[in-house]
Structure 1
Amino acid sequence: MDLLYYENFKSCSYFVPTYKRQGTYFKINLNGLNVEANFESINNGVVKIIRMGNNFKKSYWLHIYTVYRYFKDKGEHIKRIVLETSNGSYEINVSDILLREKWIKKELNKLKSTKKVHGPHCKFCKIKNQCHLQFLREGDYSVVPNLSKPMIEDLKNMNLEPLTVIKTNQIEKLDKRFKKPLYNLKSLIENQVYVINKNSLPQDYIVFDVETYLNKDFLFGFLENETYVPFFLGKNEYKNAEKMVDFLYEKDKVLLHYDKNDLTALKKLSSKYPMLRDKLNKISSKTCDLYEIIRKNYSLPVVSYSLKDISKYFGFAWKTELNGFAVIPEYKSYLNGNKNALKNIFKYNEDDCRATKLVLESLKTI
């Protein structure tokens, strides 16, 4: 149980994080609970912890206490713990920790009794797919994309059971709002892709994907055919943004992306640099959101319509365990001097581009 993901474990003790954050990890048993945590460094009895939140959260005390206990059990004396967040640094004395020890132990005990449940925490869990399929086998249809609990209740009020509707081929007879969610269920049950609506897919295109740190879009990656072309805006932003815009303007191809955030990043550049606006407006007018195409027109045997889940279904192998959230601590690590962290982000960005292309080309074969 990695305490850096405490809020997720609080929701479900079965949570398995997809990404290990930077730092030195250790394991320790606290009151019968096996937990994991990390620290950044120790120097002359001062232990440094880094958390990615903007402010000091109450739950951070569990992380602080675990680090304190780790060194105490090793017989190493510590003077204090310094916890850094995005907005500040906090010095914690041992007396501050002991003052909260009773509450901390009580909170840790609560983690022993949580049940397996699905929710927002599943997005970053390694065992999400197998858990959701288990829920589905047990009759919990709310894990099916777009098949909401109110919709399930509406079906029940019509004396209709979702599986029965599928097995008796009644989907097309129901109101159109049920169509896509029930095909999503059918796709999962039968492990088959269904085309809900016929549509045209782009033929000549460039894939692009954007990485963001806080409010800064620092990496724009592009894939033309099999060539990956990144533009890093972390340094010399305007100069590199201008190069990127000229590159895209000269290509004059459809820009393929996955969800609206990438297009939003281009529009933000247009607002920031008026001298690039005309070219960016033309570039932005020829874009294609693959997520929207899939959401409206395809049902796939996946428990979420994230790029990772869909591309894995089509056979894409990711080279890193990063995700959109994990880019934040990785980029902060780069800002603190870790050049390998930036290399990892570049690999992840390239993976995003190649995964998007694989999904599109796979859909063309259906």
Structure 2
Amino acid sequence: MLINAELLLQYQRCQRRPFLDTHADRSQRDVPNELLLKLQQDKTIHRQGILAHFTCHKPDYPQGNWEKGHAATLELMQRGVEYIHQGVLLINYQELANATSENIVSSHYERYTLLSRPDLLVKQPGQSCFGDWMYVPANIELGKRPKQEYQVVAAFHALVLAMVQKVAPPTAWLILRTKKIDHPVDLAKWAPQTQQVLEDFIQVLESPDAPEVFISRQKCNLCHWYSQCYAIAQSQKHLSLLPGVTPIRYNQLQSLSITTLESLANTSPITLENLVGFDGEVAPKLIVQAQSALQRRPFILPNLPSIENITITAPVELYFDIEAQPDLDLNYLLGVLVVDRQANTEQFYSFLAERPEEEELIWQQFLDLVWQYPEAPIYHFCVYEFDTVKRLAKLYRTPYSSVQPVLNRFVDVYEQLTQSVALPIESYALKAIARWLGFEWRDKEVNGAKCIYWYDQWLETGDRTLLESIQSYNEDDCRATRQVKDWFVNFVRDEYGWRLA
């Protein structure tokens, strides 16, 4: 069986995914979503941009024939070419285990072949089985910082390369999406950790059963096994579906045999508050969250912030939402819903930059609008809108007197709600809360990631229907924020038995 760098990368993110990749029916995988396709496209473009700076040789072999690919790579290494792109290096894992560990008796290791295909093999001075030179591996990654998973993969390439050229490379390199071209990998640190990751990974592969499901939304949403794992988690009422249950907290709960909603809901906060990942604030909040999920109704949280700080209903209210393209460092759509409760009117304003250079124009249009209502609170969901307004003001040198009074009117609905109530939902994302309240987006499948993809497509194709779809989604986000805010105000008012002004 082949173990490659991709399996090792995914194992560090989720032990279950590579098990399914190697054992499960591939036809049951999800279709790649737009964000995943965009990330793959971005990585290809990034890699091509980096490789354009090198004159590379690439081994010639039939696709998928790794043995011939390995032989072709060895031929290039023996010739001493400067750069090899996607060379193929093969070794049996038993060889590595015998060379780096003592008392290895695991004969099952022979079943596993390590396949290394670094983006670059770079010739360096030194001594190897090829002559007065050696090679070091370099990997091109889309990230902006040398994350642990990247360094483990780089060390994996170095370990395999060491066995092939009969000498350990002095380092390995990561080429990231930053101004600094490369990042050295400390192999003295990461090689032993990588060997341990390999050992643990093989133990998982040897198991007859897949590792336990754990739903981690940010990581899982891009996985092609998400639907399958999510269905299992739902059927089990798995605690990972409960907001606030992180892997560290889950392990702590398991150590106390707290594995169900019922057991967590009936736990005393004192039992949890001294555990790793918990404290006097997290413990009672998580218990109330379990009670909310179990009883399928909202609860006021303990230690509710001062009631005077709860948001109010105003005569005129503004609801604000931004669509951005992170790769372009661009905020291309500033949407504002103006609700005049006295006049009983609503008006949505969509300030759209059809080209990146129009960002400053829509920024000024946004300021002009919000200054028409100098007393109106500006409701938004999460801190992004607040931070972005500060950044745009700095970028375009907007006077302090024009920006600070606007920022003083910002009200983060997400912050107030999550500090005050527990809801019987799996996530405190805007969509999850608004849908629980009965709100629905006109396009049920659209999301922020799809809008990023659509805006890129608009820039390439000029198809205006893409912009119209983004604008509709942005308007629905503003209206969803309004519905969440109105529900929140009414719920707190009813719970306290008095009217918020």
Residue 293 (structure 2) aligned to one of 176, 188, 191: 188
Deviations, residues 146-165 of structure 1 (Å, cap 9, x unaligned) = 13344455566678776345
* CA deviation map 1:292-324 (0-9, x unaligned): 112211101111110011110000111122222
Superposition deviation, residue 144 in structure 1 = 1.2
Match of 1:237 among 352, 359, 364: 359
**CA contact under 8 A between 1:245 and 1:276: conserved in structure 2?**
no
Does structure 2 retain, via aligned residues, the 8 Å contact 1:142–1:148?
yes
- Return closer, same or farther for 1:97/1:268 CA change in 2, 3 Å cut-off: farther
Q: 1:158 to 1:125 in 2, by over 3 A?
A: closer
Counterpart residue number, 1:287: 410
**What does 1:275-314 correspond to in 2, within 5 Å?**
275-314=398-437
1:213-249 deviations in whole A, cap 9, x for unaligned?
Answer: 1210010001112321111134443333222212111
1:141 aligns with 2:239: yes
Distance 1:177 1:146, change over 3 A: same
Q: Which amino acid aligns with 2:239?
A: Y
Aligned to 2:334: 220
Unaligned runs of 5+ in 1: 1-6, 16-30, 39-48, 57-83
Deviation digits for residues 11-58 of structure 1 (CA, Å, limit 9, x no counterpart): 659x9xxxxxxxxxxxxxxx97437879xxxxxxxxxx97664332xx
Partner of 2:215: 118
Alpha-carbon distance, 1:282 to partner: 1.4
Amino acid at match of 2:418: R
8 Å CA contact retained: 1:255, 1:286: yes
Distance 2:270 2:378 in 1: 34
- Specify which of 485, 494, 497 is matched with residue 360 of structure 1: 485
RMSD between aligned residues? 4.3
Deviation at 1:352, TM superposition (A): 0.7
- Tell me the TM-score normalized by structure 1: 0.67
CA displacement, residues 93-129 of structure 1 (integer Å, 9 cap, x when unaligned): xx989524669xx99xx9xx97754223444689989
The answer (yes or no) to whether the contact 1:51–1:86 under 8 Å persists in 2 is no
1:299-338 superposed matches below 5 A = 299-320=422-443, 321-337=445-461, 338=463
1:1-366 alignment runs, 5 A limit: 33-34=26-27, 53-56=41-44, 98-100=62-64, 117-119=214-216, 120-123=218-221, 135=233, 138=236, 140-152=238-250, 154=252, 163-164=262-263, 166-167=265-266, 170=268, 175-196=280-301, 197=304, 199=307, 200-204=310-314, 205-213=317-325, 214=327, 215-225=329-339, 226-235=346-355, 236-252=358-374, 253-320=376-443, 321-337=445-461, 338-366=463-491
Contact 2:335 2:349 in 1 (8 A): yes
Tell me if structure 2 keeps the 8 A contact 1:129–1:303: no
Verify the 8 A CA contact 2:243 2:289 in the aligned structure 1.
yes
Cα drift, residue 276 of structure 1: 4.6
Q: Distance in 1 between matches of 2:427 and 2:219?
A: 13
Contact 2:30 2:225 in 1 (8 A): no
C-alpha spacing 1:86/1:281, structure 2 compared with 1 (3 Å): farther
% identical equivalent positions: 19
Residue aligned with 1:342, SS: helix
**Which deviates more from structure 2 when the two are superposed, residues 320-329 or residues 178-187?**
320-329
Partners of 2:214 and 2:240 within 8 A in 1: no
Gap change, CA 1:299 and 1:326, over 3 Å in 2: same
- Superposed displacement of residue 256, structure 1: 0.7
What is the identity, as a one-letter code, of the residue corresponding to 2:442?
K
Q: Deviations over 1:134-189 (max 9, x none)?
A: 53663632331113344455566678776345347x45997443111111111111
User: Which letter maps to 2:359?
Assistant: E
Q: Hey, what's the Cα distance between the residues in 2 that align with 1:52 and 1:262? A: 28
Structure 1, residues 242-280: CA drift from partner, whole Å, max 9, x if none? 222121112122111111111121111101121454212
User: 1:363 Cα shift?
Assistant: 1.5
Distance in 2 between residues matched to 1:177 and 1:117, nearest whole Å: 20
- AA matched with 1:328: I
- Could you say if the C-alpha distance between residues 327 and 9 of structure 1 is closer, same or farther in structure 2, counting changes exceeding 3 Å? farther
**How many residue pairs are counted as aligned between the two chains?**
301
Structure 1 pair 295–303 and aligned structure 2 pair: CA distance change class (3 A): same
Q: TM-score with structure 2 length normalisation? A: 0.51
Q: Are the counterparts in 2 of residues 52 and 85 from structure 1 also a CA contact under 8 Å?
A: no
| Aligned equivalents of 2:236, 2:223: Cα separation in 1 | 20
